[in-house]
Each structure stands twice: as C-alpha cells, then as structure tokens.
Structure 1
Amino acid sequence: MAVKILWYLTAPDGIYPWSPEGRWHTDFEHLQQLATTIDRLGYYGALLGTSSNESLVVASALIATTKRMKFLVAQHPGELSPAVLAKYAQTFDKFSNGRLLFNVVNGNDKGLASLGVHYPHDERYDFSREYWDAFQKVYAGDTSGYDGKFVKLSPRDEGGSPMGSWNGPTQNPHFPLWGAGTSPAGVAHSVELLDVYLSFPNTPPLLGDKFRRVDAEAAKIGRKLEHGTRFQIIVRETEEEAWEYAEWLLTKVPVERIRQSVQNLLPAGAILESHESDDPKIRRAIAALREGKRPSAKDLEVYPNVAVGPTWLGSHTLIGSAVNVADRIREYEAQGTNAFIISAFPLISEAQRVADILLPLLDLDHGFEVPRLRVAEPA
C-alpha cells in the first residue's frame, strides 16, 4: 500500500496565525509562492478550504504556477447550478490537465440558507445526491437534461447558447469527489457519492474502526472507498526538538481553546469539571485546565506521537521525529487511511521541512516521482 500526502493552501499564514501577533499580512503573491512550493516538493496536492477568498477562483488562478499538484477545492452543493459547475470543472481540467478535485461540503442550515439553499438536515443530503449526480452526468458529456425532485435541467443543444459549446471531460471515468459525513444520513450519502471518505482525526484504532464501519455500509451497495484524514503536524529531526516546539507553540494557544479540545475527547455527556480519567496524563491535563492553566504538551498526548490541543485547529496533531511520525502514518495506513491532508505553520517553510525529512520515509501514491531533496553525504 501507499499513501497520498496533501498540504494546505490558505491565506492565513504566519508562525501562529490564529493570533494577530503571529499572523502575517499575506496576498496573492504569497499564495502563488505557497502553491509553487507544494508543487515543486512533490505533494499530491493541497486542500483549499472555505475562506474569505472563493477557493475555485484561487485554484484557477494558480494553474499556471503549478505543473502536477491537484487542487482539492471545498464546494457546497447549490452555490452554483450543477451544469455551470460542471462547465467550470471541464474548463479547469482542460487548462490544468485534470488537476481539480472537489471536497463535498454540506455545510449547516444557516450557512446554506444564506446561499439560497433551504433544506432541513436530512433532506439536504437528498438534494446533495441529486446535485452531484447531475454534476457528474453533465461533466461526462450528457446533454439530455436532468429531471429530479430538487434539480431540473433542460436538455442542452450544441450551438451558440451560453452553455452550448463544451470542452468535454478530462478525468475518466468520472470526476473525483472527496468529502465527509458522520451521522447515519451523512454516511449513507458518503458511500453513495464519494471516492475518498474524509474524517476528523483520531487515534489509529478508533479511526480504523470508523473507516471499517463506513466500508461495511459501502459494501452493501457494491462500492469501495478510499479514506483520508486531516492533521496538523510538528516534525523535527528528533523527538526532543518536536516536543520542545510543541511546548512553545502551546503557549500561543488560548487556554479556553485547549480546554475545548480536551472536552471534545471526553465520552458523550462527560464534562471536564467532574470527569475522572484512567490515564494519568489526561488527569494532569484536566487538573491544570480546571485551575485555568495550560497543561504540558506531553500531557495532551493521547496516543504515541498524537496529541490534542497544541495547534489552532484544536484537533489532533502528529508530533515527533520524522522516523516516529512516519511509523505512525504507516500505522494509520494499516487501519485504512489512504490520504493525509497535513499542514504546519509557516506553511512554506514547514512544507519544505516535511518534504525534506518525512516524505522520503513514506511509500507515496502520487502518480509521479517525488523529488529527493537532501544531498547525499559524501562516502
């Protein structure tokens, strides 16, 4: 087996950009430099999440500065007509040689309503199924129209109309969709629709359990998915260097954010003030937080090289030497994880570090030869 490693392509950047004093003033030139770095270093691609910039526009503007990286663009169903989005995707793929991926995001009731999409939670999944089914058919060249409950497209004639002339598909047999969904309705939606099922990170055994449950649902309809997750990462030459930096970075994270990260780890219904853990590290972390203090980074380690809290994401972070982090990635791989979306700040310098000391230790499934950056030591 082999894994895909993606980086993060976003506007907020800096040493610790979740705080104003650690955030840089970035612009489009910075995004160009970041995309060029990701591409040159051999990452499979990069995630463009929702931000103040329209992600599909940003990705399109970066085609010319890159050669092989894929752009994983967050896309809500209903933002555009599925036919318009399909033509956008065809155009992007023609100009980039098939380097666009969509991260299917179903959003929330309030956010989607602001875009003109007004469906309750479970019905929103029904709408999404139709939307992406229509998108796939139109992207593949179907001109017969679409007559669904939510999506209705008239047949399209070749000619001079605004949607008349098309490029045709670049990616076959269909356009790849990535995405997530944890509720029963979300899982059912995912296994019908997605090529790569994404999940928030967890320990290798727990994440593996989740992926196996999703696989069982997919098997019921004759489908098999790949799986991916999203990590912050602190990787250094040695364990000591990595944890020392994690300890420093933790001082830049508000205590309340750390508190919420630990609360999210507790069993359903448990609260920080009264929870008792069998893990002495978790007990120490909880005791510190109850006193309004920051716990140590090591006390936030919930699995070897996996900690919660010492980043702005407030989720799980891979921390350790390149050798140990590579071992942990292989453990996740053994539990069914095929793709890792990782990042560290500053994005450009840390992308270089990870490519230098971590990627050479992994078996990569990027579809091209990944450059080896280190110059060999003289014999």
Structure 2
Amino acid sequence: MSITGHQIEFGWFIPTTGDGAYIGVKPERESTAEYMISVAKKAEEAGFTFALIPTGGSCLDAWITGSMIASHTSILKPLVAMRPGLIEPVLAARMAATLDVLSKGRALVNIVTGGSPDDLRATGDPLADHHDKRYDRTLEFLQIVKGLWDQQAPAEGNEFLAAHAAGSGKGLFYKGDYYAIERGASQPAPVQKPHPPIYFGGSSAAGKKTAAKTADVYLMWAEPLEWIKEQMEEMRDLLKKEKEETGVERSLKFGLRAQVLVRETEEEAYRAAWNIISKVDQRAVEQSSVRFSRSDAVNQKRQNKLRAQSADQDYFAGPNLWTGLSSVRGGGSLLLVGTPDQVSDRILEYADLGISSFILSGYPNLEESEITGKLLLPLIKEKRKTSALGGGHV
C-alpha cells in the first residue's frame, strides 16, 4: 500500500433521531440536548475535528442542533445541512455566516438536495418528483449563496442595512428559473474565506455536474475501492470540462461517509457487527426494502445493489467491508469492520485514491467515538508518519 501525504480529516456523527446499540428497532436513547452534547464532546476528545448533523425524516433541526454543538465545544466543527427547496438562499447564507461568526470560523455546510420523494412531499417541495430539476435549483441556490458571501458590501453594520433598506445598496441581483433576487444582502460576512467549505453528495449525473460547479468537498457513501475510484474519475473529468467551458479551474476534495467498528480481534469485531442487527425482524427488513425502493437517489440505489451482490458472502463486499446494516439502514451504511490494523489499512487505501475527509459513525455513537478515537485514529496517524519517514509500505 502506498500511503499518500495529503492531509486527511476525520468527522463523527451527531444522532438526532435517537441512538443505541441496535438498529431496526426503537432507539434505546433519546436525542436529548444533554446526550447530543455528550456525543459531541466525546468525539472532540477522541480526535475528531468535525461532526455531521443529519437532516430529513424525523431528525431534529440541523441548524439549531449545530448551534448548540458549537456552543459546547471549542474545536469540533458542525457540518450542518443546507436544504434547497426547504429554505430560501438569502436566509441560508445569513444563517451559515452567523453560525460561522458565532463559532469563530467553525461552520461547515452540507448541501442536501434530497433523495426521498416521500420526505420531499412531506415538506411541500414542488420538485419532489423531479430529480434532475432539484439539482438545477440547487445550482441556482448555491450561485446565490456564494454570491452573497463573496460580494463586497459598500458599508458595514447599520450603515449597510440602512442603505439596503433605502434601495441605494448595490446588493446581489439574480434571475434564474427558480429564484429572483434584487439587491440581495447577507450580513455578517463569514469568518472563513472565501466562505465556509461546502460539502456536497450526489451520485447521479445531475448531482455530479452540480457538484463540479459548486462544491469544495464531494461526498460519497462508502463502497468498494473500484466503485469509489470510478466516481472520482468522473468528477475529475467534469472538472476538466468545466474549465474548458468557463476558463475557471476549480479544485475539489473528496470525502467518504461510512460506519465503523473496530475491536482488538477480528472475531470480536464481527460478533459485534452482527449484534447490531440481532433484533431486526423480517417485517422491518420488508418495510425498509419498500422505503429504499421508493428513493430516487442514485447513491441509495448503489447501496441496494451492493447489499444484493454481497448477500451470498455473508454480506461482505470486500475485505472488512460489511453491508449487513443496509438491510434496514438507509444512507451510507457500509460498515468498516475488523481489527484496528485491518480497518486502518482500508481507510488508508481510500486515502491513496485521494479521499481526504472521512465521516464515521457507530452504534452507539457515544461509546464508538471513544473506541474509534483510541484504537483507530492514532494507528492511522502512526502509519502515515512511518510511511513519510521512509518506513516502507504498510
């Protein structure tokens, strides 16, 4: 294995719909403020530098949760969902900039276009049944948000607001198919320059095209190496095409969303993995299958395919890559499972492809963040250090 020298970051997960040791059943723990804060603090202590806050379904509001997490940590960066169609771009720009200011430059933005028509209809989204149009809207949304962040205000504070109210402020003008903005303004300005980093997931052609134009970090749900490599090559080709068409050369980082479970022995790790789904009954599997089939998200379809292909291998899609959780869990469900040495090798293989951001989680998140921080993160750091010093392949 060749271990690359680019910097990598590790993020954890804040459970906002409950938490526990099992999936497919009612969570044993409620997502109280106290519990989510304890998960965030434990993740920070374990060495994680940011935390994904989910959205959709029965999740607690990501922005309010993110603000709470930021106020109870000092280093951990909240990665908060921004949902085009559910929030208007001018307000979204102000909210993200405000969080960035109040957290002293720790805000991260996760663009969620939406992949469940059922969930989108429940929020009143008129594009619930129009997959590609949602990404067209997301492109306009981000053009406005980034335009508001990037514009130079003619004045500051009350003077700026007074000029804007009087109609003399310059502001942002935008006319698209989904949004029309006249003298749009966002105060305060973000602390991070040029703006808080934008994370973006979407495996469809429309999603990738929009990501190539707007994202700072392109997120993928964990899959076998060759599957991930193909997606990264597609994105790099889109970046080249974008440069040819616009003359603008954009840089893009890559991120991976995965579940993780490390134990001292392989036997212990696999036993713990099967235990997570030990309370799942057939009815839950059937209900989940129906729900997954209604999703129009390409990345969910890829997870479904991976589970089906690995079924006759005890749900192993490759060394230490287990799809068992995806029988009832949607989203990025692939579990990196094994000993610290095995799982660190798998993560470093992804890093060799160019992955620089890893968003991990486990069941339950409180205990697993501590275990992962103790057994896995230091070993990854040590292996990279050894390789950099000429210690050979790991």
TM range (shorter): 0.7 to 0.9
**Residues matched between the structures, number:** 333
**Which residue type is aligned with residue 133 of structure 1?**
Q
CA contact (8 A) 2:46 2:372 kept: no
CA contact (8 A) 2:46 2:370 kept: yes
Match of 1:294 in 2: none
Which of residues 197, 208, 212 is equivalent to 1:191?
A: 212
Decide which moves more: 2-11 or 247-256: 247-256
CA distance, structure 2, for counterparts of residue 265 and residue 97 of structure 1: 38
- After TM superposition, the structure 1 = structure 2 runs for residues 356-367 of structure 1, keeping only pairs within 5 Å, are 356-363=374-381
Partner SS state of residue 170, structure 1: coil
Match of 1:228 in 2: 255
Match of 2:314 in 1: 299
CA distance, structure 2, for counterparts of residue 68 and residue 266 of structure 1: 33
CA contact (8 A) 1:146 1:153 kept: yes
State whether structure 2 residue 134 is matched by structure 1 residue 124: yes
CA distance, structure 2, for counterparts of residue 106 and residue 250 of structure 1: 29
State whether structure 2 residue 22 is matched by structure 1 residue 16: yes
Cα pair distance change 1:156/1:335, threshold 3 Å: closer
Partner SS state of residue 212, structure 2: helix
Match of 2:281 in 1: 254
RMSD: 2.8
Q: Show structure 1 runs of 5+ residues with no match.
A: 158-162, 287-297, 365-379
CA distance, structure 1, for counterparts of residue 379 and residue 92 of structure 2: 38
Cα pair distance change 1:218/1:271, threshold 3 Å: closer
**Which residue type is aligned with residue 369 of structure 2?**
A
Which of residues 310, 313, 335 is equivalent to 2:353?
A: 335
**How big is the shift at 1:271?**
12
State whether structure 2 residue 62 is matched by structure 1 residue 35: no
CA contact (8 A) 1:130 1:148 kept: no
CA distance, structure 2, for counterparts of residue 147 and residue 319 of structure 1: 48
CA contact (8 A) 1:17 1:24 kept: no
CA distance, structure 2, for counterparts of residue 205 and residue 43 of structure 1: 27
Decide which moves more: 107-116 or 304-313: 107-116
CA contact (8 A) 2:11 2:49 kept: yes
**Which residue type is aligned with residue 43 of structure 1?**
F
Cα pair distance change 1:86/1:351, threshold 3 Å: same
State whether structure 2 residue 147 is matched by structure 1 residue 137: yes
Partner SS state of residue 86, structure 2: coil
Cα pair distance change 1:214/1:254, threshold 3 Å: farther
Decide which moves more: 210-219 or 251-260: 251-260
State whether structure 2 residue 47 is matched by structure 1 residue 45: no
**How big is the shift at 1:309?**
1.1
CA distance, structure 2, for counterparts of residue 271 and residue 16 of structure 1: 19
Q: Show structure 2 runs of 5+ residues with no match.
A: 1-5, 153-169, 243-248, 293-299, 383-394
State whether structure 2 residue 179 is matched by structure 1 residue 151: yes
**How big is the shift at 1:126?**
1.9
Match of 1:326 in 2: 344
**Which residue type is aligned with residue 15 of structure 1?**
A
CA distance, structure 1, for counterparts of residue 360 and residue 307 of structure 2: 30
Which of residues 5, 8, 15 is equivalent to 1:3?
A: 8
CA distance, structure 2, for counterparts of residue 203 and residue 324 of structure 1: 15
**How big is the shift at 1:42?**
2.1
CA contact (8 A) 2:259 2:334 kept: yes
**Which residue type is aligned with residue 10 of structure 1?**
P
CA distance, structure 2, for counterparts of residue 267 and residue 56 of structure 1: 30
TM-score (norm 2): 0.77
State whether structure 2 residue 372 is matched by structure 1 residue 351: no
CA distance, structure 2, for counterparts of residue 105 and residue 85 of structure 1: 13
**Which structure dedicates a bigger proportion of its chain to helix?**
2
TM-score (norm 1): 0.80
Match of 2:230 in 1: 209
Match of 1:174 in 2: 195
Match of 1:290 in 2: none
